[in-house]
Amino acid sequence: MAPLPLIIMLLASAPAVDVADGRVLPGCQATCGGVDIPYPFGIGARCSHAGFEIACNGSTPFLSGTSYKVLNLSLATSGALLELRIAWTCYDRSGKRRDSEAPIFFNPQGVYRISNARNQLYVVGCDVTAYIQSRKENSSNAVYAYDYEYYTGCVSYCTSAESVKDGRCAGVGCCRVDIPPNLTDNSIRVGNDDEDSLDVRQIIYEFSSCSYGFLVDRNSYTFRRADLKMEKNQTMPVWMDWAIRPKGSSEFTCSDAMKDSSSYACKSKDSNCTNAANGPGYTCSCAHGYEGNAYIVDGCTDVNECLYPEKYPCHGVCRNRVGSYECKCKRGSHGNPLKDTCEPNLPRSALITIGVVCGISFIIISAILMVMVHHRRKLREFFKRNGGPMLENINNIKIFTKEELNQITKNYSIVLGKGGFGEVYMGIVDNKQQVAVKRSISVDEARKKEFANEVIIQSRISHRNVVRLLGCCLEVDVPMLVYEFAPKGSLYDVLHGAEDNKRASLPLGTRLNIAVESAEALSYMHSSATQKILHGDVKSGNILLDENFMPKVSDFGTSRLLSIEKKHTILVIGDMNYIDPVYMKTGRLDEKSDVYSFGVVLLELITRKKPRYDGNNSLIINFFKSYGSEDKTRKMFDEEIVSPEDIEFLQKVSSIAVACLKEDMDDRPTMKQVAELLQLLRREWKQRQGDQVADEICTESPRVISPINPTGAETPGYSPLLK
């Protein structure tokens, strides 16, 4: 009588590998078909211990190299649930064996065990005896030397289908038996080939022509009479106990494993080693108070026991500790909070007195708190209305509180200036850094949205010639901005002495520097920033000067009216003396609108005249009238910088300004072109200054060669605006 093997073991483990935190190795697949694949199992090369490989085929996990489907892999129980085929033997009408099915061998390393605690052996059929058998270990521990010996089995007998009852498995049509531990490389022998059984098998052929034997999870199978004719390809869920077991070892414990730290599989420092309950070897688990994957370096993390009161009871005040938790009775009581025996420290009468006093105090404190809450709520409303939810995610500026702004500005005691968009106050941050605090005048909702947009726009700008935004305050009805301080004030102040006698002497070299660096700032905003920004209110009052007269472009009032995709606005805002006529008429704000306004600033810089001066005189109109005459143009220039050697450069600056002021936008240069022309002009002026010094030093004046046109021929790339 030939045996029918049903080999149902898992794969072996290999030495552990240091890995990063997580359930799986970095870059490895964590699940397959809804089944978690935790390390030491893994899918793909270098994703598992050797012998724990899982194949993911068509979104279904299999033991690698087999057709056995994986249903569950558990670190907590060190179990693996597989779907395995049943063993069967069928007979013909004469009662002789016809055919049988034998599953293949898939446990070459012999280190896993069938779970005796979670499975049972079932035998289904009439006149059948089945045994489960296991390999006998020999002295050489050879894995492939099979010498089977029987361990346990049972007998099922019946002579009629009516005697078999659904749900009953006690020897009539079905029998079952517990299996012993340490079963590996097992087979099941199903059948009865005795000659004396031929007559019985002929009688039962019509309702039980086959006999079946299989292992199955204790909670997953209930016998039915219809199972006397089971499908031959039927599968059953079977639990395996897996552990870290060296190949072929019949005895191996935690103490053995710890002798070699390189192969020791419990990699987390907060892990425990436990000897395997079924067979040799060991398993790893996180220590008490920790959870995670003990097979991974730092895979065990602290459990916050206070979040799981049903598992970690505490009838007092719970506080998490690393690896444990602390449970104390509430303040004013004593006892055992773990057993819910906390009692008050004071007698009842004292508690009543304290309660009355506390009640009165509570009413008073509640009233105070209501006022404070109302105040905080009002501040929060201001915060939201002023664009707080939009601005609080910007990490390169500081959001100041109202109290901080009061301290910084000393209750707004020093006013630096006023303009169309608000007031500016002096402030000091951290007792050392001077700042300018700007507060908008208007408080309507449109202005609130403008304020938030201004902050966003300026937070994206990083240029030495653009005033740096340090932070903002949102907890006030009138939103405020905090800027770096420019001690010289605005270019308008320096040119025209607008406030506090700030008018200062400005040689041509300084004015050229102001023109070049202001143009570079606007060029950066138009083409070099992370996204194009249109200023929309370029004027001398919005060009601030530091202690060295370095210009810093400020105040983005108009630009914040426009979205990134939108170039038109119904509300045209800006100084009418500088504003582009095209923008004024159409509401279309273009980078050439900034070019036009900068042209006005250039005229203002070389003439030291306001855009509208002496009552109703227009600088632009008067300059254009005199532009065709050299004498008239000379009279328009500021007397401080008019000299025979510099008149040529003033003419060239004026030609750039005239180009910026052309009526047709398309005929105006870009700010980048304006910056390049001014840079070229400044280099020529500096070279001229150097040549003049050389002429004074040398007794014989050398021939001066122009850096712009040394030969007198047309220079490629040299704009005719400078001729």
Q: What are phi and psi of 640, to 5 degrees?
A: -60, -30
Which tokens hold the place of 608? 């030291």
Closest CA to 1 of 153, 131, 193: 193
CA 156, 159, 161, 166 torsion-angle sign: negative
CA 220, 225, 228, 234 torsion-angle sign: negative
β-strand pairing of 469-473 with 398-400: parallel
Q: Name residue 525's amino acid.
A: M
- Half-sphere exposure at residue 310, Cβ-oriented, CA atoms within 13 angstroms: 0
- Tokens 């020897």 correspond to what residue? 171
- Other Cβ atoms less than 10 A from the Cβ of 589: the count is 25
438 in a labelled binding site = yes
- Other Cβ atoms less than 10 A from the Cβ of 71: the count is 16
Options 127, 185, 227, 537, the catalytic residue = 537
22 in the Ramachandran plot: left (φ > 0), alpha (ψ -120 to 50) or beta?
A: left
Q: What is the 3-state secondary structure (H, E, C) of 413-448?
A: CCEEEECCCEEEEEEEECCCEEEEEEEECCCCHHHH
Asked whether 619 and 578 are in contact (CB, 8 A), the reply is: no
Q: DSSP per residue over 566-588, as a string? A: --B-SS--S-TTT--HHHHHH-B
Q: Rounded to whole angstroms, how far apart are CA atoms 288 and 290?
A: 6
- Residue length of the chain: 723
Instruction: Give 321's contacts (C-beta < 8 A, 6+ positions apart).
Output: 289
- Torsion over CA of 557, 558, 561 and 566, rounded to 10 degrees? -150
Asked whether 107 and 51 are in contact (CB, 8 A), the reply is: no
Q: Rounded to whole angstroms, how far apart are CA atoms 255 and 280?
A: 12
Q: Is 178 known to be catalytic?
A: no
- Other Cβ atoms less than 10 A from the Cβ of 295: the count is 28
Q: What are phi and psi of 658, to 5 degrees?
A: -60, -40
Instruction: Give 386's contacts (C-beta < 8 A, 6+ positions apart).
Output: 448, 451, 452, 474, 476, 479
3-state SS assignment for residue 239 = strand
Asked whether 483 and 469 are in contact (CB, 8 A), the reply is: yes
Q: Which residues are catalytic?
A: 537
Residues annotated within the binding site are 438
Residue numbering of the annotated binding site for ATP: 438
